[in-house]
Structure 1
Amino acid sequence: MIERYLEQQPAVMAALMSPNIKREKDLDTLSSDDITLAEHFIKVLGPLKTITTIPCESSMPTLSMVRPLLQNLSQAMAPNVEDVKPVSQMKAAILNRLAKRYTDVEIKRVLLQASFVDPRFKALPFLSQQEKLEVQESLCDLAEAMNDSSLEYCIVKSEPYARSDPPLPDVPVQVPTAVKEEVVNPPKKTALSSLFGDVFVVSHVPATLTKKEMIHNELKDYTGEECADVNTNPLKWWHVHDLKYPFLSKVAKYLLCIPATSVPSERVFSTAGDIVTVQRATLAPDQVDKLIFLKRNVTI
């Protein structure tokens, strides 16, 4: 609103000062000092406008953006010696309101966890090293506690040669007789085998790592990678790296599905209002569901 006023202020003043306008008294308008102060206010409120717009997007409205955006806003509202008194008062009021947000320990923990599993913000530069370790440890506990019903599929799919491993206990494996004979028969002696023997043979070592150790290894590899570009879609990133990080990917899906705002659901309500009108009040509920789904998901 202030930007629009300053943009149109010369035209407004020209129209008000026109001799064709009847004025009973002097014009009550902004002075030059007021306009200068309004320009300062625009600089202060600019980050607020941007940070309010970003979580309202429909493509990536995940919870992981909340904590980095809050940190960015706190830095933008930091006091400056060059600020005039009204600007300093405005910044102090904004920081005071921000300090009362997300004070619950559980909410703060979830916000940090969501930011860490977002490949764009996993560095968490606004935290100390000890705080980063605490976030990683909490994620490790969360990954360990989650149901791993689909984990076996991920591991088998990511290790195509696991078929040669010994069968798991209590799982009967029926092997045809012909296959047994083929496996038992020794391979034909060749010149290379007589020359090198077993020098280059690598024996298979069964995995003895515990689930927690595997999760820690994933965390180590994940933190060792470079942060993704800020324009990267974190959901697509985890779709690509799902098999590389089977434990962390489940935690990421669990956390990143939380929307940052209620704007997407409000848009669905608005879409429903456009579909179910007075002229279409007899639509069946299942038809309404299908129409809303198509409207929100089909791109032309």
Structure 2
Amino acid sequence: MKATLLAAMGTRFQTVEAEPLYSVATILDPRYKDRYFTSAESSKLARSALTQEVEKNEESSLQTTTTEAADPASKTPRMTAEPNASSCFKGLYEEFLQEHAAEQGGASSTATQVQIETYLAEKTIHRTESPFEYWGKNKERFPSLATTAAKFLSAPSTSVDSERLFSTASNILDEKRNRLSGDHVETLIFLKTNLPMYLSLNPKDLNPQED
């Protein structure tokens, strides 16, 4: 049985380290970083994927900043301007923005690499510590990495709770009990879902006679 389970896991998860979603999430977890990849190639791919994600976020932020800076200038009315002069000035202005964006992009890329190398060179935190607290404390030191970590370390969406709710409704309203009103069904579903939680918080309600 153990051999069968091990073979199944090897088949299902043999390419998991090559998936950017999982590799970036792992390397951004300060409890693990790049210490647990099974090969140097997998670690290299994870670093590359992390760099691409951080640079993508920085480019998006830079484009937003550039757009916000350019909008007020484009909305400023011009009282008197010759067509040729206006066209010439507009061309110079756009050229300046492009050069500025290129310079910022180069500096941003260097800063990104410095953040990544500094972060990976530090020791990992203990496995019982919270990675969210770590990024909350170090977001000033690693701003780009902290932004990316907030994206990849967030809780994934799930439909488990809604599926359980549908199952509860189907168990309450069935062929043998099909004349319940909508209000009664809603009340029973509410009690089924919330009563265990209420009793766990108030165990004395299980034996009210003890009071």
Q: TM-score, normalised by structure 1?
A: 0.39
Matched with 1:224 is 121
- CA displacement, residues 220-262 of structure 1 (integer Å, 9 cap, x when unaligned): 1101211011011112221221221111112211111153x95
Q: Distance in 2 between matches of 1:135 and 1:257?
A: 18
Within 5 Å, give how 1:3-42 maps onto structure 2. none
Q: Distance in 1 between matches of 2:18 and 2:40?
A: 20
Residue identity opposite 2:23 in structure 1 = L
Q: Distance in 1 between matches of 2:106 and 2:70?
A: 17
Residue identity opposite 2:108 in structure 1 = K
3-state secondary structure, aligned to 1:100 = helix
Q: 1:281 to 1:111 in 2, by over 3 A?
A: same
Residue 163 of structure 2 corresponds to residue 266 of structure 1: no
Q: Distance in 2 between matches of 1:169 and 1:217?
A: 30
Q: 1:269 to 1:243 in 2, by over 3 A?
A: farther
Q: Distance in 1 between matches of 2:141 and 2:61?
A: 14
Residue 184 of structure 2 corresponds to residue 279 of structure 1: yes
- CA displacement, residues 260-281 of structure 1 (integer Å, 9 cap, x when unaligned): x95xx5246557959xx95363
Residue identity opposite 2:109 in structure 1 = K
Q: Distance in 2 between matches of 1:92 and 1:150?
A: 49
Q: 1:228 to 1:267 in 2, by over 3 A?
A: farther
Residue identity opposite 2:3 in structure 1 = A
Matched with 1:51 is none
Q: TM-score, normalised by structure 2?
A: 0.53
CA RMSD, Structure 1 to Structure 2 (Å): 4.3
Residue identity opposite 2:19 in structure 1 = K
Residue 146 of structure 2 corresponds to residue 249 of structure 1: yes
Q: 1:143·1:251 contact (CA, 8 Å) conserved in 2?
A: yes
Q: Distance in 1 between matches of 2:184 and 2:15?
A: 47
Q: 2:37·2:43 contact (CA, 8 Å) conserved in 1?
A: no
Structure 2: 5+ residue stretches without partners: 63-68, 74-103, 170-181, 203-211
Q: 1:119·1:227 contact (CA, 8 Å) conserved in 2?
A: yes
Residue identity opposite 1:257 in structure 2 = S
Residue 42 of structure 2 corresponds to residue 131 of structure 1: yes
Q: Distance in 1 between matches of 2:136 and 2:162?
A: 25
Residue identity opposite 2:29 in structure 1 = D
Q: 1:102·1:108 contact (CA, 8 Å) conserved in 2?
A: no
Q: Distance in 2 between matches of 1:241 and 1:171?
A: 34
Q: Percent identity?
A: 22
Instruction: Tell me which structure has the larger Cα radius of gyration.
Output: 1
Q: 1:123·1:227 contact (CA, 8 Å) conserved in 2?
A: no
| Structure showing the higher helix proportion among its residues | 2
Within 5 Å, give how 1:151-190 maps onto structure 2. none
Q: Distance in 1 between matches of 2:118 and 2:29?
A: 14
Equivalent of 1:109 in 20, 38, 52: 20
